[in-house]
Structure 1
Amino acid sequence: MHLDHFTIRTRDIAGTRDFFRTVFDLQDGERPQAIKRIPGHWLYTDGQPLVHIIGTQGYGIDHAAEAIDHVGFRIEGYGAFRQKLERLGIRYSTMDLEELQERRLFFRAPGGPLLEAVFSEPVPQETHHDFH
C-alpha cells in the first residue's frame, strides 16, 4: 500500500493549482471524463496524479471552505478489500473509472475523515456507482 493522492477542497481553485505547480513543480494533467462535472484539476508528478483540487462553495455539504477533502491509498485486491469492509460493517460507496482501469471504494474513518481505496483492476462492464 502507498499514498495514491490527496484531494484539496477550496474556493480558490486557480490559486491553489498555481501554488502547488510553483512550489512542488507539479504539472497539470488529465482527469477522467466521469468526474469532469466537478470543477477542479489533477496535478501530476512523475506521470502520476498526486494532488486533486476540487471546488467548494463553503456551505451545505461543502461547509468546510478550505480543507483536505480525502486521502486515497493505492492497494491491491478489490474484491477481498470490499468483503473486508462488509465483514467489518463499514459503509462504503463505489466508483469505477473505466478509462483509467481503476476501481475505487470510499469510506469514512471514525470521526468522519473520508478515505479512498484505489485499485488498478479492469472494470467489469456491468458496474455502476453504488452505496453500501
Structure 2
Amino acid sequence: MQFDHLTIRTRDLDASKTFFEQVLDLSEGERPAIIRLIPGYWLFDGDRPVVHLIGTVRGDPGRPAEAIDHVGIRPDGSYHDFRARLERLGIPYSLMDVVELQERRVFFHTPGGPLLEAVFDEPVPSQHSSKDQTS
C-alpha cells in the first residue's frame, strides 16, 4: 500500500492554499471535472496531487474551521478484489470513478469514523456513469 493524498476541509481556502504552496513548495494543478463541483484546490508535488483542499461554509456548527477530511491510499491488489474484501467483511462503501484520470475510487470508514479513500489505476468502463454508487 502507498499513500496517495491528504484531504483537508477549510473555511479559508486561499490562506490554506498559500500556506501549503509556501511551506511545502506545492503548486496548484487542475482537478478532474467531477471534483470541480466542490470548491477547492489540488496541490501537486511534481506531477502528483498530494494535498486536496475542500472549502466549508463559514458558520457551519457541525464542522471545525480546519479538519482532515480523509486520507487517500493506494492498496496493493485490484479494485474488484478490494471491493470483494470489504463486502466479505461487511464494511459499507461508496464508489467514484474519475474518467479523466482512469481511476476507480472506493470510500469507506474506519470503525472509529475517519474516512479512507482507496484509489486504483484501473480503466473505467466506457458505459460508466460518473455518479457515486453506494454499497
For normalisation by structure 1, the TM-score amounts to: 0.94
Cα distance, 1:126 vs structure 2: 2.9
As a proportion of its length, which structure holds more helix?
Answer: 1
Matched residue count: 131
| Equivalence map 1:59-74=2 (5 Å) | 59=60, 63-74=63-74
Residue equivalent to 1:80: 81
- Tell me the CA shift for residue 121 of structure 1: 0.5
CA–CA distance in structure 2, aligned partners of residues 125 and 64 of structure 1: 39
Aligned-residue CA RMSD in angstroms?
1.2
- Does the residue aligned with 2:127 lie in a helix, a strand or coil? coil
Shift of 1:66: 1.2
Query: 2-side partners of 1:65 and 1:7: how far apart?
Result: 14
d(CA) in 1 for partners of 2:37, 2:100 = 16
Determine helix, strand or coil for the equivalent of 1:85.
Answer: helix
Equivalent in the alignment of 1:97? 98
**Aligned equivalents of 1:65, 1:109: Cα separation in 2:** 23
Q: Distance in 1 between matches of 2:26 and 2:43?
A: 6
| Secondary structure in 2 matching 1:59 | coil
Deviation (angstroms), 1:116: 0.3
In structure 1, what residue type is equivalent to 2:127?
E
Percent identity of paired positions between Structure 1 and Structure 2: 57
Taking the aligned partners of 1:125 and 1:65, their CA distance within structure 2 comes to 39
1:36 aligned residue: 36
| Counterparts of 1:100 and 1:15, CA distance in 2 | 28
* 1: CA distance, partners of 2:97 / 2:54: 19
Task: Report what 2:134 is aligned to.
Answer: 131
- Per-residue Cα deviation, 1:53-101 (whole angstroms, up to 9, x for no partner): 00012526x5233100000001241000000000000000000001000
3-state SS of 2:124 partner:
coil
Q: Normalising by structure 2, report the TM-score.
A: 0.92
Q: Aligned residue for 2:9?
A: 9
